[in-house]
Amino acid sequence: MSTSNAVTAIPAADSAAASAHFHAALRFETDCSDVSGALASGAPGFVLLDVRSPALFAQGHVPGAVNLPHGKLVESKLVDYPLDTLFVTYCAGPHCNGATRAALRLAQMGRPVKVMIGGITGWLDEGFELAASDKGRQQATREVATS
């Protein structure tokens, strides 16, 4: 098979290099399905951080997530978590870099961290439900009533 196109113009990496690359990628990220399964187990082994604004968190978030906007992520907010606590960050979706910004801050603080790729968009695409605070439900109800 010697078809040349944009996909095949650069040869694929050998198996050892591909294995190393993909193994490394999984050290930095996880996906919505894996997070959902871990949360459902009752002992996920990580703290899930929604790094969006409190208003967006109130409107809908992954059940079990803790809201800590990436701009307010400082060591003093983490004192209740042991230093080896794994954090998994997420934001709105693939169009948002808030989860990456939060992961960078956590890593700079010496904290273990992964990003949940897809964020809220990915969560919903997988068919998972969001939780909303009472304040968020009331706001959504007002928005529907006024439209």
* Beta-carbon count within 10 A of 11 CB: 6
The total number of residues written for the chain in this structure: 147
Element (H, E) at 135: helix 134-146
Percent of residues, the chain, with pLDDT higher than 70: 89
Determine the Cα–Cα distance for residues 89 and 66; give it in Å rounded to an integer. Answer: 10
Say if residue 144's pLDDT is above 60. Answer: no
The 10s digit of each residue's pLDDT in 93-122 is: 999 999 999 999 999 999 999 999 999 999
Say if residue 6's pLDDT is above 90. Answer: yes
The mean pLDDT value for 72-101 works out to 96
Q: What is the pTM of this model?
A: 0.86
Q: What is the pairing mode between strands 113-117 and 66-67?
A: unpaired
**Average per-residue pLDDT in the chain?**
91
pLDDT score recorded for residue 138: 45
Domain ranges of the chain: 30-129
Query: What is the topology classification, in CATH, of domain 30-129?
Result: Oxidized Rhodanese; domain 1 (3.40.250)
* Beta-carbon count within 10 A of 38 CB: 17
pLDDT score recorded for residue 135: 58
The mean pLDDT value for 125-133 works out to 95
Q: Which of 64, 50, 31, 33 is nearest to 127 (CA)?
A: 33
